[in-house]
Amino acid sequence: MDKIVSLCKRRGFLFQSSEIYGGLNGFWDYGPLGVELKRNVKDAWWRDMVTGHDETLVPNGAPQAFNMVGLDCTIIMHPQVWKCSGHYDLFHDFMVDCRECKGRFRADHIKSLDCPLKPSKRPGEHDKCQLTDPREFNLMFKTFVGALAGEEGAAFLRPETAQGIFVNFKNVCDTQRVRVPFGICQVGKSFRNEITPRNFTFRSREFEQMELEFFCHPSESPAWYKYWRDRRYAWYLKHGLKSEKLILREHDKDELSHYSCGTADVEYAFPFCEAGEYGELEGIAHRGDFDLRSHMEGKLVKDEAGNLVVEKNAEGKPRHPGSGKDLTYFDDQTRERFVPHVIEPSAGADRATLAFLCEAYHEDKQPDENGTMQERTVMKFHPKFAPVKAAVFPLVKKNGMPEFALDVYRDLKAAGIATVFDQQAAIGKRYRRQDEIGTPYCITVDGQTLEDKTVTIRDRDSLEQWRVPAAKLVEEVSTRLKG
């Protein structure tokens, strides 16, 4: 993991936020290469879920047409949203403080955290340690809307993008030609005041989510749950995560969130995980009708029989009243009115990006131009994710090679292929620079180019080299990137 963190800094994938002031724990900036990588991950998700989604896929035997649409909601929403969703009352972790070293730890992480006292031990293991009892800590960041910083202006930064989708359910139904089953997708920032942010970007305080809320008939919801669980697991495999490091884990009943009647996680064996352990990339949850009903009727709780009922205050009124708006769905073909059930695949864009970074990292030994074996660090990204797709090199800085290479570079850029031009240092060094950032194809303009107008393409992974006419280069690189 240390090697990956160091490469990310050295080559401009990720920087600590506000680094020149010493950084801010739990916040990360994406550098010039990182921003492209993460954008490619988010674009691949959006294409798969929204723009390129095949609307007649088969969930349960019979083909069904369904729509997938997008939204981009605000980060700060009406405070009542979080009261009805349950986040205001329930979105907390337990924290433990040490009166001696002033360390603050998440109670359920204590067995894997280090105490600031030396020699390094787990919190509570030093004789001097004085741990407090666990206390509840709400993870939502609070802010104030308007000039007055009073409680009436208090608001929260969203801890998930999902609620923006639920509160717009009616707007989407009223304005789009969607029929249940259909999905609404959103990609955007979420904020959680994590007690112990750690493991690089894995647990941050500001991060991005890629969420789908899929609305379906209650009777079809178990089939859709399986459909989305399997489809999302397959997405990570398709984009290069290896099956021996990727698991799909069904939650036990006692692990389920307050709203969920079934959840599976896609988990990846990150380098910082202990042997046999995994880190969560995405949760796929069957949320039932919890969210739409909460925003209609008021915050729901389970009664003794396990049914969801509106929580009441001492006067018998809803503790957190809902919007009172009708969020039911009327099926004009079956003439049935119902509250749709929801399947929610909720992925972290930063965690996915980190997993693809970890998976890509390889070290090997390759001969340089003199045949001497050289250590090589190579990022074997899926070509779709590679921040730079092609690099163009003139072999030497004379004989018209730089001019020819610049034309080649401009052709690739004009075709929308992220390309760099590099004429500094020996060719072997230039190859290694590109390998280290995961550029799939390096193109060299050499003496033969000037005679027959062909260039050499080198493949990052196989190291195979072959010649193509410069006039056919864009087509060749595009086809290979797509393939």
Binding site for ligand GAP (CB under 6 A): 160, 162, 192, 194, 203-204, 207, 209, 211, 280-283, 344, 346-348, 350-351
The secondary structure element, H or E, covering residue 92 is: strand 92-97
Token digits for 375?
A: 């250590």
Q: Which is nearer to ligand GAP, 220 or 291 (CB)?
A: 291
Q: Which is nearer to ligand GAP, 162 or 216 (CB)?
A: 162
Closest to ligand GAP by CB, 300 or 378: 300
User: To the nearest whole angstrom, how small is the minimum distance from the Cβ of residue 239 to ligand GAP?
Assistant: 15
Place of tokens 């990339």: 281
The β-bridge relationship of strands 441-445 and 390-394 is parallel
Q: How far is the CB of 198 from ligand GAP (least distance, A)?
A: 10
For ligand GAP, the closer of residues 169 and 441 by Cβ is 169
Both tokens of residue 390? 């092609």
Q: Is 385 helix (H, G, I), strand (E, B) or coil?
A: coil
Least Cα distance to 37 among 354, 266, 412, 440 occurs for 354
Give 220 or 350: the residue with its C-beta nearer to ligand GAP. 350
CB of 190 to ligand GAP, least distance (A): 7
Instruction: Output 350 or 446, the one with its CB closest to ligand GAP.
Output: 350
In contact, 454 and 470? CB cutoff 8 Å: yes
Shortest Cβ 447–ligand GAP spacing (Å): 51
Compare residues 203 and 430 and give the one whose CB is closer to ligand GAP: 203
Closer residue to ligand GAP, CB minimum distance, 160 or 311: 160
* Least CB distance to ligand GAP at residue 85 (A): 9
Q: Least Å distance between CB 212 and ligand GAP?
A: 10
- Helical spans, DSSP H, in 315-400: 349-360
The Cα 353–Cα 359 span in angstroms is 10
Q: How many contiguous H segments (helices) and E segments (strands) does the chain have? A: 13, 25
Q: Is 192 left (phi over 0), alpha (psi -120 to 50) or beta?
A: beta
Give buried/exposed letters for 64-101 (b at 16+ CB in 10 A, else e): eebbbebbeeebebebbbbbbbbbbbebebebbbbeee
Start-to-end C-alpha separation, the chain: 30
- The nearest distance, CB 87 to ligand GAP, in angstroms, is 10
For residues 153 and 144, give the distance between their C-alpha atoms in angstroms, rounded to a whole number: 5
Q: Name the phi and psi angles at 416, rounded to 5.
A: 85, 15
Minimum separation from the CB atom of position 281 to ligand GAP (A): 6
Cβ of residue 28: shortest distance to ligand GAP, in angstroms?
A: 10
Which residue is associated with the tokens 């195979």? Answer: 464
Shortest Å, Cβ 304 to ligand GAP: 27
**Which of 263/444 has CB closer to ligand GAP?**
263
Rg, C-alpha atoms of the chain: 26
Instruction: Choose among 181, 159, 178, 160: nearest CA to 170.
Output: 178
The smaller minimum CB distance to ligand GAP, of residues 85 and 434, is found at 85
Q: How far is the CB of 62 from ligand GAP (least distance, A)?
A: 29
Beta strands in 175-299 (DSSP E): 182-191, 206-216, 246-250, 263-268, 279-288
Q: Compute the distance between CA of residue 345 and CA of residue 328 in angstroms, rounded to an integer.
A: 22
Q: Look at the block and give the residue holding tokens 């957190």.
A: 320
217 by DSSP, 3-state: which? coil
Q: Which is nearer to ligand GAP, 42 or 389 (CB)?
A: 42
Closest chain position to ligand GAP (CB): 348
Q: Are 437 and 430 in contact (CB under 8 A)?
A: no
